[in-house]
Structure formats: C-alpha cells, structure tokens
Amino acid sequence: MQQKLKEQNVMITGASGGLGERIAYHAAKEGAEVILAARRKDRLMALKQNIADETGAKCRIIALDVSRTDDIKAAFQEAGPVDILVNNAGFGIFENALDASLEDMKAMFEVNVFGLIACTKMALPHMIRQDKGHIINIASQAGKLATPKSSLYAATKHAVLGYSNSLRMELAETRVNVTTVNPGPIQTDFFKTADKRGDYVKSVERWMLDPDQVAKKVVSAMMTNKREINLPGWMNGVSKLYQLFPALVERAGRSAFYKK
C-alpha cells in the first residue's frame, strides 16, 4: 500500500492527547516520521510506544510548552527539518468577559496565538528553502462565530485565522501550503478546563465531533492546497450566514449561544 507521507517529517504540538494524538496515529500510518511535542513527557513516551507497536513508524518526542516562546527555538533545533507542522496546542476557558482574569487572558494568547506563530516561524525557513511544506493551524468555528462566555478564546482563534490567511497570501508564490482547521466541539479533554461545570458539554454532547474522524480529515489534507477544513458542515453554514447577516444570527441564535 502506498503511503502518501513516506519520508515526511510531521511535527505536532499538543500531541499528548485528544486530537493531536489521533493526528499522530494517522500520520504515522501514512508513513510519516512523527515528531510529538507537548508538555507531558510521560504521555508522549507512552504514545510513542503505542504508535511504534501499531504502525511500526519512526516517532520522536520533544518536551515543549509552547507558551514558553524562548524554548521553541531549541525544540525546533532538536527536531531538525519539519516538512509538515500541525499547530494543535491550545486551550480555552469559558467565562463572561467581566469575570475572565487577566492571567487567563495572557495564558490563552501565549499558547493559542504567540506559541503558534513562534512555531510557524521556526518551521518556515526549511519549507521555503525546499519549496515544499505545509502549515496546518488548528483554529475553531469560534474563530468565525463568537458566542457569549468565549470572548477570550474566540479572540485567540480569530487571531489564528487572521494570521493564517495573511501567511497564505505571503506564501502564494511558493509550494508551502497553509490550512486552517475549524471544528466545532470535539470529544476531548478540552472541556475539562474550558467547561468545568459541564453545562456546555451537556447541551452540545449530541453534536460533538469524534476526534478520530477529524484527525483523518486533517491527515488526508496534508501536502495538499486545501484552504480550510470546516466541521461539522451545518455549524460552518451558520458561521457563513453570520458573516452575511450578523445581527440576524445573533438575535435568532441567542438562546442557543447562551448554553455555556
């Protein structure tokens, strides 16, 4: 069976669980040499062993907290050339804007935005030199349609989309692709931090995405010029409608938006 990612180095941040873990598995199955980066080295070591047992693929691990931008350069020096970078590390905390702490604001931007940009800057020179590569940024439908109690999280994801769209235009004359992944809620540990009371999870549980299915779509898009991956389709439809008729969507969706 032909493996589309054979001899490609794929680095994934936030790889120790959830969507990042599943992307790592599927990239390894496609023949990639996977570089797992995350804070929890014990989880990474266990995942590395599982990937080796299940796929036989090469796999390396790097302990990295992307909020520590000073450590990112060293991590990429250790990783070596990266052909595909998946900026997956990120978190959210759902609070009213008035109640959200400045510490949470700083932490979310450091991980979701500054860390993503710093990792991208480290990976790009090699990609541009070889005139081939792929930056995949895990954003969110929250980057297209903000809702109550997600002001800070939505702001970070709006920033990711803005950065990605500009970067894509800057790289238009190269064969380096930029893809944003904009999922709705996914069944991962994300909500243990974002939604400590569990109210939001209860209200959207039946619509939650399977991380394995999202991961398959991400891996299938690797080294293609796909602009965006938007999931689920109906939620992306609401986001598109919002761009055209924001006041109407805000009024019509008010009761649903407040289910956090």
> Which helix (H) or strand (E) segment is 256 a member of?
helix 254-257
- Which residue type occupies 145? L
Chain position carrying tokens 């569990």: 198
Active site residue 242: no
Distance separating the N- and C-terminal Cα atoms of the chain: 45
Q: Confirm if 38 and 44 have CB atoms less than 8 A apart.
A: yes
153, 163, 200, 242: the active-site residue: 153
251: Cα separation from own chain's centroid: 30
Residues 6 or more apart whose Cβ sits within 8 Å of residue 181: 136, 137, 138, 139, 214, 217, 218, 228, 229, 231
Strand-by-strand arrangement of the 9-13 sheet: 59-63, 33-38, 9-13, 84-87, 133-138, 176-183, 228-231
Q: Tell me the two tokens of residue 260.
A: 């956090």
d(CA 84, CA 177): 9
Tell me, what DSSP letter sits at residue 57? -
SS3 147: coil
> Which helix (H) or strand (E) segment is 137 a member of?
strand 133-138
DSSP sequence for 32-54: -EEEEEES-HHHHHHHHHHHHHH
- Residues serving a catalytic function are 153
